[in-house]
């Protein structure tokens, strides 16, 4: 339990329903839907749509969406991979012949086709209860009539000005006289409102067929892309069977590749082979073991993870006890390991994750993202849509399983999480933050299971991130711990901004009490009733 003499947040408790998002307006709207009779999926889509308006650098309808779902609170978890694909005309040979031997996050060829709207509509068709047209009006209202820019959002917005200025449509939509809005500013996105109205009325077809699709394809081609309207029409999210691993009697579920969720499971498979109990949760030995698990798990991710419909991904091997034991052989306790190749992708902070549990204990773990701040920075002037840069997750190496190819999904960073125990949903959770996410998942779960933290403490606890030979540490890591880590051989660096952002809802199997935690590093909240 928190120290009430210190600033912080308490756990949010409820018996009927709970929501946790990184924006208060989104949390309020989701709770309103639950109270009016909608279910967890209705509430999750409504909340995400709002964040696509009010947190436009974090997420948008020009991005992708993944979800894990536990209907009725049962242990059978269902998943959806709603990530878009490369345009059919894009090949590695084309990029190499044009002087691109690696993906550039602001290049037009990093723009994959948006998968989010297709994902929302498919999730709604399978799990939702309200009319789809009744889910989007709160987001439409914020886009059309204005929303107030929050503090963390204003900071992230300001950090993206340089990118936005490179594209006229993006700067016209998201800047005023070349300047971003300050906290407390009212901002409107009327073109996005019109697009959302069309989606509310016509569903998926409004976005992927007809005028909107043609306008988006034309804007991408005008920027030098190979995108066609047919690429939009062919977009299809896939329902998938989640992968899982075990830790202290719990089963942790993740979306399978092309997502990086398997990286979190590899980390946990390594960590459970060490005695974490009794260690200082903010101490050098705990952070050292977490860093080494991350180093090895990310090496495996970068070598193997790709679109399984286009490449052979050895998922069973990667999750095996034998592989975990093999990786543990590369850990020397008390000494930093060889960092060669352990690159988690450029760290960034731009994604929204949210969790919802309803009265029937339907639990939804939901994540939506543009990848980096404002994605590619390329916007469609007619629709108000800014496009993701998920293609940055590809490599341009013809023999690599994750090499860019027509109609292929890139290795993807966004990962929702779900935990079950004894055949029941126990925790719906996620930690946003690009390449950091697998570390965040392992960190918050071990905070609970090894150190007895509640869901809010587990989220608030200081973080560190081992990435490409550097151990990034937050302010909360004490100086003596930093000195110990340096003595072990780690190169430390202060984080420019806090690492990631989490949301979590736990379900007590005996009492039915819902416990919600929300990221203090963001602007949102958990609400329950």
Residue matched to tokens 């300047």: 179
* Coil vs helix vs strand at 209: coil
Collect contacts of 7-12 with beta carbons under 8 A, ≥24 apart. Answer: 8/456, 8/460, 8/520, 9/456, 9/460, 9/517, 9/518, 9/520, 10/456, 11/454, 11/455, 11/456, 11/515, 11/516, 11/517, 12/456, 12/515, 12/516, 12/517, 12/518, 12/525, 12/526, 12/527, 12/528
CB atoms within 10 A of CB 175: 16
Distance of CA 431 to the CA centre of its chain: 7
DSSP per residue, 19-71? EEESBHHHHHHHHHHHHTT--HHHHHHHHHHHHHHHSTTT--TTSEEEEEEEG
CA-atom Rg of the chain in angstroms: 21
C-alpha span between 470 and 457 (Å, rounded): 26
List the structure tokens of 416: 């929702």
Percentage helix, strand, coil, to 5, in the chain? 35, 20, 45
**In terms of DSSP H, where are the helices of 312-364?**
315-318, 321-328
Within 8 A by CB and 6+ apart from 473, the residues are 287, 462, 464, 482, 485, 492, 493, 494, 495
Q: Is there a contact between 383 and 212 (Cβ–Cβ < 8 Å)?
A: yes
Residues paired with residue 368 on neighbouring β-strands, in sequence order = 65, 352
C-alpha span between 70 and 425 (Å, rounded): 7
Known catalytic residue: 16?
Answer: no
Catalytic pick among 59, 351, 413, 446: 351
Q: Is there a contact between 39 and 360 (Cβ–Cβ < 8 Å)?
A: yes
Within 8 A by CB and 6+ apart from 177, the residues are none
List the catalytic residues.
351
């Amino acid at each position: 339990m928190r120290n009430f003499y210190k600033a912080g947040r308490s756990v949010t408790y409820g018996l009927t329903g709970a929501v946790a998002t990184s924006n208060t307006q989104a949390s309020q709207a989701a709770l309103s839907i639950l109270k009016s009779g909608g279910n967890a999926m209705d509430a999750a889509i409504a909340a995400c749509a709002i964040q696509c308006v009010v947190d436009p650098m974090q997420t948008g309808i020009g991005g992708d969406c993944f979800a894990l779902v536990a209907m009725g609170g049962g242990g059978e978890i269902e998943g959806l991979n709603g990530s878009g694909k490369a345009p059919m005309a894009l090949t590695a040979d084309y990029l190499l012949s044009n002087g691109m031997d690696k993906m550039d996050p602001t290049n037009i060829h990093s723009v994959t086709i948006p998968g989010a709207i297709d994902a929302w509509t498919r999730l709604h068709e399978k799990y939702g209860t309200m009319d789809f047209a009744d889910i989007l009006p709160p987001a439409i209202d914020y886009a059309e009539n204005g929303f107030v820019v929050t503090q963390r959002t204003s900071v992230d917005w300001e950090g993206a000005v340089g990118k936005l200025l490179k594209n006229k449509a993006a700067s016209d939509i998201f800047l005023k006289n070349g300047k971003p809005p300050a906290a407390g500013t009212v901002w409107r996105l009327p073109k996005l409102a019109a697009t959302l109205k069309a989606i509310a009325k016509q569903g998926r077809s409004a976005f992927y067929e007809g005028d909107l699709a043609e306008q988006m394809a034309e804007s991408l081609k005008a920027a030098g892309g190979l995108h066609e309207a047919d690429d939009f029409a062919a977009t299809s999210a896939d329902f998938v069977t989640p992968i899982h691993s075990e830790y202290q009697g719990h089963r942790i579920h993740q979306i399978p590749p092309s997502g990086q969720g398997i990286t979190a499971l590899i980390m946990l498979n390594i960590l459970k082979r060490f005695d974490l109990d009794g260690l200082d949760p903010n101490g050098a030995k705990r952070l050292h073991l977490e860093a080494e698990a991350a180093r090895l798990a990310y090496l495996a991710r970068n070598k193997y993870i790709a679109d399984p419909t286009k490449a052979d991904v050895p998922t069973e091997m990667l999750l095996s006890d034998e592989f975990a034991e093999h990786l543990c052989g590369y850990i020397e306790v008390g000494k930093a390991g060889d960092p060669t190749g352990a690159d988690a992708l450029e760290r960034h902070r731009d994604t929204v994750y949210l969790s919802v549990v309803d009265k029937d204990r339907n639990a939804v773990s939901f994540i939506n993202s543009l990848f980096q701040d404002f994605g590619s920075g390329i916007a469609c002037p007619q629709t108000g849509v800014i496009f993701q840069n998920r293609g940055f997750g590809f490599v341009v190496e013809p023999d690599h399983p994750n090499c860019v190819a027509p109609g292929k999904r890139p290795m993807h960073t966004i990962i929702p999480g779900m935990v079950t125990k004894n055949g029941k949903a126990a925790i719906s959770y996620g930690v946003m933050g690009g390449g950091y996410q697998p570390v965040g998942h392992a960190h918050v779960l071990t905070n609970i299971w090894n150190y007895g933290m509640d869901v809010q403490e587990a989220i608030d606890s200081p973080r560190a991130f081992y990435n490409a030979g550097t151990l990034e540490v937050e302010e909360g890591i004490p100086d003596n711990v930093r000195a110990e880590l340096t003595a072990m051989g780690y190169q430390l660096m202060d984080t420019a901004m806090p690492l990631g952002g989490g949301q979590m809802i736990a379900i007590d199997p005996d009492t039915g009490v819902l416990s919600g935690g929300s990221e203090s590093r963001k602007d949102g909240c958990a609400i329950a009733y």
